[in-house]
């Protein structure tokens, strides 16, 4: 088992050196751990939606999100929040320094041929919001 772990870390490190970005998905739940952050060459940290969804109404969820954002940045990682469903949550995460997000507030799953139109609308909407 130890040999398999070493082989896996070797492959991940080689991918990272080749310019691939590796993410820890669903951070804060399941098998993700602080030990992974230290041992594996990840470049992104994705905060699990179970914390993100309620960050605007639950102080503990908000604290976990903010702490995870700070931790990820201290480890020179890009931090992405999963499960953003409202502008209140999105605004809170942006204020906390979150780098990016995904969820129904940003965009629902769509066919590829609709993506270009969606992206134009998103950019237009956010251009006026940041002015």
The residues annotated with a catalytic role in the active site are: 82
C-alpha distances (whole Å) from 63 to each of 31, 34, 96, 105, 130 are: 21, 17, 10, 21, 26
Q: CB neighbours of 111 closer than 8 A, spacing ≥ 6?
A: none
Of all helices (H) and strands (E), which one includes residue 92? helix 87-95
SS3 call for 116: helix
């Amino acid at each position: 088992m130890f040999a398999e772990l070493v082989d896996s870390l070797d492959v991940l490190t080689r991918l990272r050196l080749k310019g691939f970005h590796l993410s820890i998905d669903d951070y804060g739940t399941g098998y993700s751990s602080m030990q992974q952050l230290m041992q594996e060459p990840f470049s992104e940290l994705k905060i699990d939606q179970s914390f993100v969804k309620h960050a605007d109404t639950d102080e503990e969820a908000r604290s976990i999100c903010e702490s995870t954002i700070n931790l990820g940045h201290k480890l020179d990682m890009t931090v992405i929040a999963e499960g953003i469903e409202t502008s209140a949550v999105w605004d809170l995460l942006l204020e906390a320094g979150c780098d990016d997000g995904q969820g129904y507030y940003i965009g629902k799953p769509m066919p590829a041929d609709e993506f270009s139109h969606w992206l134009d609308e998103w950019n237009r909407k956010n251009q006026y919001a940041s002015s």
